[in-house]
Amino acid sequence: MKVLVVGGAGYIGSHTQYELIKAGHSVVILDNFSTGHKEFIHDKAKLYYGDIRVKDDVDRVFENESGIDVVMHFAAKIVVPESVKVPLEYYHNNVEGVRVLLESASAHGVKSFVFSSTAAVYGEPSKGVCEETDIPAPINPYGETKLACERMIKWVCEAKNMNYMIFRYFNVAGSDESLKIGYKRDIATHLIPLAIESVLGLRGPLSIFGSDYDTKDGTCVRDYIHVSDLAYAHVLGALYLSKGNKSEIVNLGSSSGYTVLEVINEVKKVAEIKYNLDCRREGDPAILIASTKKAKSLLGFTPKYSLLDMISSELSFRKKQVNK
């Protein structure tokens, strides 16, 4: 396959380009480096600098690169608190960017579209396990923009005779085994990156928000998936679409929930970490994990990396960055 990876210099996009190239596919990347990193571009990938909100930038890629089979989108703004403060920026980047990309891809005969979505579309689920058939109810602008994109993709693909795979992510962590790419953002917002920053002395003790939930140890339960597992699922999704299969929405997680304290205990296996117990945060559900039955049945996808693998590889990558 020839695959256009939009946002391929970012965290998940870069790991996906690596997995595509490992599997023998041809990769073209479009990125404006607003959050991505040029050093994350694989030597075998072809890079175009540009912004998906600028149609000329997107058209230029398709005009120069004939025979693109699949487009993968990873070029979204993703920080929930920021989305609350600047919602229009999120609608402009996330929704308008996808609109322009769909317009150009469909005009140039692309038949398959893979979209990076999020568990944030579920909002605050009434039950702990999220299934793809659950009614979406986002509670922040980030989740709303992703849901708007999901719906736009559905209608456009139906109109233009395209098929799509929408992946809803849960908590992603870890680094490629090469340690050439990994989590490298100015502001960490998820538990494992925050824990690693605390271990490395880049921040103070880790805060645990809430210790009185109805869980085995009182702390929240979340689903974690290694970024390389997640990336490989995109390869499987693209292959699934290339065979003419129907469009799908699929969760990507491990279906195994871990409490915050269980994550910290795994961190302790490789490093010392200090933490504080703090008050609950508004809107944090006690349990949030993915039903992954669909990913397994449709794509044959089963994660191979453990929680300790995620933590160890992320720690190794971040140490490498700190010591540069």
- 122 catalytic? Reply is no
Q: Does residue 109 contact residue 59 with C-beta atoms inside 8 Å?
A: no
Q: What is the DSSP letter of 208?
A: E
Please state the φ and ψ torsions of residue 228, each to the nearest 5 degrees: -70, -35
Cα 50 from Cα 322, distance rounded (Å): 29
3-state secondary structure 32-91: CCCCCCHHHCCCCCEEEECCCCCHHHHHHHHHHCCCCCEEEECCCCCCHHHHHHCHHHHH
Instruction: Tell me which of 11, 122, 142, 232 is the catalytic residue.
Output: 142
Cα 300 from Cα 147, distance rounded (Å): 26
Cα 68 from Cα 242, distance rounded (Å): 11
Q: Write out the two tokens for 91.
A: 């609608």
Using alpha carbons, list the distances in angstroms from residue 288 to 7, 131, 133, 163, 242. 27, 11, 15, 29, 32
Cα 113 from Cα 70, distance rounded (Å): 6
Q: DSSP assignment of 89-126, as one string? A: HHIIIIIIHHHHHHHHHHHTT--EEEEEEEGGGG-S-S
Residue 128 class from Cβ within 10 Å (0-12 exposed, 13-18 middle, 19+ buried)? middle
Q: So which residues are the catalytic ones?
A: 142
